[in-house]
Amino acid sequence: MVEREFIYTGHPARVIFGFGTTVRLPEELARLGKQRALVLATPAQKAEAETLLALLGPAGAGVFAGAVMHTPVDVSELATKQADALSADVLVAVGGGSTIGLSKAIALRTDLPQVVLPTTYAGSEMTPIIGQTENGVKRTQTTLKVLPEVVIYDVEQTLGLPVGMSGTSGMNAMAHAIEALYARETNPIISALAIEAIRSLARALPVIAKAPGDRDARADALYGAWLCGICLGSVGMALHHKLCHTLGGGFDLPHAETHTIMLPHALAYNAPAIPDVMKKLTDVLGSDPSGALFDLARAIGAPVALSQIGMPEDGIDKAVESAFANPYWNPRPLEKEAITALIARAYSGERPVID
């Protein structure tokens, strides 16, 4: 039976999905009436940014290929100065969460429109959320000023995504959908999208791990990631995202890998408080959904321990303190001893435990 009382807010964005859709970038800028695009990328994707600049011709103003993890404030301010110097009237971001985060940070400061071409499964492109890091602390805010105006999903752009990054990026996306199922603002529309997203990614990621060039699996994964992004941008998140922001910002851990490791443990912690959600996830992932996510991470070759990605063992207590300093809403109240045990298991790569 459908819930009879709920609130759903749809966010305005133009989405183009398919194979080879990158070629539509110039016409999308023309539709927006923009003529001076600053193309953003990470240093590793500078070549892709240069290709887009050439595609834009006279509408390309320049490239800033300095995006890095966790959107440091100093990098954002440097990129904003370049946008001003070039008299840019639109931002074009090609890449994953780091580049999209930089684009949002510039938009926050300038109100420039954004056109995003995702090359990973981060999902940030569908949200009005921005997280910025300064002095080792990552702070988030929600504002429509950072919601991209146009998102061009081109499956071709993801075919070269390395297997490891594909897996962790996809698990990161699944985290958005899973937490959306038990968010305080959850509603039937988002729940339906979340289940479809989880099913698509759970089906696609093992195939990609074995056959990275499988076009159907790549399309499934990008489609699922899109839906996960809608989930992330439509409802609040809970313990999982709080822990990941704490760990990522506090220890400079890689974003997608941190989400991959923490997801099974955060779900196991909340499981006793969300029996209906666990039933839905059982229908999609099989019995013991938190264990299934842990097994999925191992099956796709993703890290399963925080110790593998650079977290120091003496950081466990610091992470617990940070989690309790400004806790998110969560369906199960935060219990210090249990959270400490959760992070300790994630640190050592143990299987998640439901207690």
My answer on whether 220 and 139 are in the same domain is: no
In the numeric block, which tokens belong to residue 329?
């809403």
My answer on whether 323 and 201 are in the same domain is: yes
Please report whether residue 3 resides in a domain: no
My answer on whether 73 and 185 are in the same domain is: no
My answer on whether 150 and 185 are in the same domain is: no
My answer on whether 123 and 214 are in the same domain is: no
My answer on whether 183 and 258 are in the same domain is: yes
My answer on whether 173 and 147 are in the same domain is: no
Please report whether residue 8 resides in a domain: no
Output the domain CATH number for residue 73: 3.40.50.1970
Give the total number of structural domains in the chain.
2
Last residue of a domain, one of 107, 139, 158: 158
Please report whether residue 52 resides in a domain: yes
My answer on whether 53 and 182 are in the same domain is: no
Please report whether residue 1 resides in a domain: no
Distance set, CA 261 to CA 22, 151, 270, 285, 324 (Å): 32, 28, 16, 17, 20
Q: How many beta carbons lie within 10 A of that of residue 141, not counting itself?
A: 12
My answer on whether 145 and 203 are in the same domain is: no
Pairing of strands 37-40, 60-64: parallel
Last residue of a domain, one of 139, 158, 177: 158
Please report whether residue 185 resides in a domain: yes
| pLDDT for res 310 | 95
Please report whether residue 354 resides in a domain: no
| pLDDT for res 120 | 93
| pLDDT for res 43 | 97
My answer on whether 199 and 153 are in the same domain is: no
My answer on whether 194 and 330 are in the same domain is: yes
Q: How far apart are CA 199 and CA 67, in angstroms?
A: 31
Please report whether residue 249 resides in a domain: yes
Last residue of a domain, one of 127, 143, 158: 158
Q: Note whether 172 and 179 are within 8 A (CB).
A: no
| pLDDT for res 1 | 53
Run means of pLDDT, 10 residues per run, the chain, 355 residues: 73 93 98 98 97 98 95 96 98 96 98 97 92 86 95 96 95 96 94 98 98 98 96 91 89 93 98 97 96 97 97 93 86 96 97 94
Q: Which domain holds residue 104?
A: 14-158
In the numeric block, which tokens belong to residue 37?
């695009």
My answer on whether 219 and 327 are in the same domain is: yes
Q: Note whether 154 and 18 are within 8 A (CB).
A: yes
pTM over 0.95: no
Please report whether residue 300 resides in a domain: yes
Output the domain CATH number for residue 264: 1.20.1090.10
